[in-house]
Structures are given as C-alpha cells and as structure tokens.
Structure 1
C-alpha cells in the first residue's frame, strides 16, 4: 500500500515530544503513512522535590521498598541521571510502552506491566499482589503535572506509599522554521498529547490554518484544549478532516497510554 493510500497519507505531523516517546509515536505514525517532524514543545527539568527524591533513591537502593512504579519514560532518565540502583528484591511496575522501553534501555528490570491494556487502571486491576493482606511499601515517581492514579489506588488499598515528583514539565519554544511550517500549512497536523502541550500550542501558534488538524489524545487533553480555544471543528463526523483526525489519535493511543502523556 502506498503512503498516500494509508490512513494518514498526506499528513505531515508535528510530534511534540522527543526521546523514546517521540520515537515510538513517530514510528507508529509513519507506518500509517504520515510524515513526522519531532519538535518538542515540552521538556523536563529538575524537580522541586530534589532533596526528597535523593532520599527516596537512597532508600530504594537500600532495598526498603517492595515495589516502585513509573508511568513516564522520563522516570528512567531521572534514575539514570542519579545513577540510581534498583535492587533485585524491589519489584518494578510500569505503564506505557515508552516507559517499558526506556527502563529496559537503561538496564532496569521490570516485574509487571498491564496485560489487558496499557493503562494505569488495568494495572491496578491486574496487580494481584496489592490486593492481599500484606501491607506493601511502594515508591511512586511521577511528573509534577501527572494525575496520581497509581498513588491514590495504592493508598486506598492501605499500602505505605512514598510519592515523589521526580521531574517538572516545562514549555519549550518552537524554532522559527517550525513556526513557519505550521503557519504555511506545510505541517498540517499537530499532535497534542497533554494539557501542558495544549498550553504551548495555544500560546505559540495562536492563528492556525483552518485546514490544520489539532489532534488531542486523552480526555484530559481534550478538555484542556477546548478551554484554551484550540480548534475542534474536525471533531464533527461530517467534517472532511474527521477521518484523518480519528486515525491520527487512534494510532497514537495504540502505542502510548494516556498515563504516559504527562497528565
């Protein structure tokens, strides 16, 4: 099948995150016929809880946690940056394909990932060890903008949870070249994968062509985008761009769970 005949043929898509996440999303989109441009609109900065993080990583290395969790590939980068050691006796639960790939690439072991679907809710349902009488000590590492689904789920089951904001998500200005390509319509689709990215799109590209697809992945993202006034016309099934937009969103969500979308 030619690129033009594939569901995303004719689209040149801005992928707003780099790293493992950006690589996986770009590969999936290209397989469906899209041309991709990785141009991060967000990046990651040191946490405001650095002292707490350092102390938690010391406890992790000492084997004081039964489990640790991660729902973002950036957690693997944070661990590697701190030369953190996860002892063999500490089990690791992760959500998201990008997260799993990043952990393995960094040399960290993984004990559990959800089977039914790659989501935090599926992990909580399938994680048999957390539904026994044993009170587990768990370390959860996440972004400052992430919704603490796992943390809350574990605490509600009576476990001893140490939650740490491992990194902050900050906006990144797009290059002049990227802005020109968006304004001219050369880039004709923008992937919006978190509320933070929605903020950056609204701020950096205030006047988008009516033919530019703004594809929001995840309910939280869609809600934030609507509040910011990002275009939603193509959400109407009668709109000529509807099929392309749905195919774009479905392709992204097939490889990246919403829990790995920063919020």
Structure 2
C-alpha cells in the first residue's frame, strides 16, 4: 500500500518560479497534485538608483545600527552591490526564508521573529534591549510602510529606501484558459503583489476555484484585490501553505465519503 495522495487529480497554480516554486511544486506532487508554475511577478532595478546607492554607502560606512531585510530579493540587491555591513551593524530578517537567504549569501543574522514571519511580527517581537538608533529598511517600491511606521513608534530613526521594483508578468493563454475552465482548481497567493496580478489577469475566478493564501496579511490583500479567500496558511511559509491545501482536500474527501480511509483503489 502506497502513501495517501489527497491531491490526486488536482491542478494547482504556483505563481512563483525559481527555487521557491520548484520546492512547492515538489511538495504538491508528493501529495498527488499537478502543479502549474506560472510566475506572475518579477523584479526590476529601483527607479531611484542614486537614493539606493547613497543608503547602501551609509550602511557600509556603519551609519545604521540595524539593517532590516524582508525578502530574498533584497539579499540579491545587497550581494549585487557588493555590500557588507560592518560587524557592529545588526541584521534582522522578517522570516526564516529570508534569514536562510542571508546566511547562504554569507551575512550574519541577529534577529528573526519566531511567532509571526511578517512586518508586524518583526516589530512586535523586536529585541527589547534595542530601543533606539538608525535603521535601514530596503524594500520593494510597493512595500507598505508597516515596518518603518512600527519601528518609528518604538523610537527608532527608521529609513525606507526602494531597493527594487515589483512588476507584473503576463501568464500564458494556457494558464488563463485553465483557470477560467476550472481545470486549474487551486490558486496559491503568495503576496499582495501576486494577488493583484491574479485579480488583473485571471478574475473572475470560477466559483469552485480554491484560493489559498500564505498568511493573514496576504489574505487581507487578496480580499482587497477582489479575490475570494478560502484557505489561509497558519504561518507564512511554503510548508504551511501546502499543508492548508492538503488538509482542505482531506476534509472534502471525508465529507464526501465518511467511510473512506483516504486511499485510492490504485494505492492499495
């Protein structure tokens, strides 16, 4: 008897490519799903490169007590500009994925929020012993002011700088048709930017399409973009997002056949 495949026959839209998309797709396949990788956003250089260059120069010169990093894309910007903060500058990462990207690139990580991998979680769990100083927050041009506002309220001189631009990527006609027909039955939403692209390119979604969001903030952004939200991952992680989709499928199967043990005949 082989492993249970609760997502057998389900096509899932994975709106990010790269390592993240490959890993999520592999996880989905392990549960029987057929993932469709269709990156819906990409990143471009900041529109104000001179402001970014000046901020990074101050960072390297030791002007800031803290550097806050909120995405692996920001790590790429730091590496691409050859930036190495001095030892006395502490580095905060918004979550484990960003922390892993920093570590892989050779940066020291001093703080990662444990309970909530989001801007709000980072501010809420900020180290109590750190109560003042200058903080650099390089983010996407579309980033909300949550971090800067939250850190400013805690007494920090927090400075935002646009590190890169987030731009939409058109999906193929095959993906558009697959979603419209209901053949792609689950759509993953991994950020507010992705939510807005799904709404612009794929809405209105068929009634039976399941929309799964990576966390409460993304769910809020998805609803603001006009999308329905059916599933919200408990934590802002790829594993939690896949788990939410799997649990939903298992629950539906149990409702449809209370006596079923979750195994397909071919798995016996």
Residue 11 of structure 1 corresponds to which residue in structure 2? 10
Larger radius of gyration: 2
Alpha-carbon RMSD across the aligned residues, in angstroms, is: 2.9
- Secondary structure at the counterpart of residue 201 of structure 1: helix
Distance 1:257 1:4 in 2: 17
Deviates more, 1:50-59 or 1:84-93: 84-93
Is it true that 1:2 corresponds to 2:19 in the alignment?
Answer: no
Judge which range, 211-220 or 73-82, deviates more.
Answer: 211-220
CA deviations 1:73-127 (Å, max 9, x no partner) are 2111111222222222211000122211221222222111112343333333333
| 3-state secondary structure, aligned to 2:178 | helix
Equivalence map 1:15-164=2 (5 Å): 15-23=14-22, 25-26=24-25, 29-30=28-29, 33-128=32-127, 131-132=130-131, 135-164=132-161
Where structure 2 has 5 or more consecutive residues not aligned to the other structure, the ranges are 242-268
Residues 5 and 31, structure 2, Cα contact 8 Å, conserved in 1: no
Mapped partners of 2:105, 2:189: distance in 1: 27
Q: 1:25 to 1:184 in 2, by over 3 A?
A: same
> What is the TM-score normalised by the length of structure 2?
0.76
Judged with a 3 Å threshold, the aligned counterparts in structure 2 of structure 1 residues 251 and 115 are, in CA distance, closer, same or farther, namely closer
Label 1:161 to 1:43 Cα distance change in 2 as closer, same or farther (>3 A).
same
**Cα pair 1:64 1:137 within 8 Å, conserved:** yes
Equivalent in the alignment of 1:173: 170
Q: CA 1:41 to 1:104, structure 2 compared with 1: closer, same or farther past 3 Å?
A: same
How many residues were matched structurally? 240
Gaps of 5+ in 1: 236-245, 259-263
Query: What is the TM-score of this pair, normalised by structure 1?
Result: 0.77
Contact 1:20 1:101 in 2 (8 A): no
**Partner Cα separation in structure 2 for residue 103 and residue 91 of structure 1:** 13
> Quick one: structure 1 residues 3 and 102, their matched pair in 2 at CA, closer, same or farther if it must change by over 3 Å?
farther
**Alignment check: 8 A CA contact 2:233 2:240 kept:** no
Contact conserved, 1:141 with 1:164, CA < 8 A, in 2?
yes
* Structure 1 residues 229 and 160: alpha-carbon distance in aligned structure 2, compared to 1, 3 A threshold: closer
Task: Describe the shift of the 1:22–1:174 C-alpha distance in structure 2 as closer, same or farther (beyond 3 A).
Answer: same
**Residues 23-64 of structure 1 deviation map (CA, whole Å, 9 limit, x = unaligned):** 454455455554423211111112123111101111111222
Mapped to 2, the partners of 1:47 and 1:158 lie a distance apart of 28
CA distance 1:253–1:66, shift in 2 (3 Å)? closer
Matches within 5 A, 1:180-259: 180-231=177-228, 235=230, 246=231, 249-250=232-233, 253-255=236-238
Give the structure, 1 or 2, with the largest relative contact order (CA under 8 Å, sep 6 or more). Answer: 1
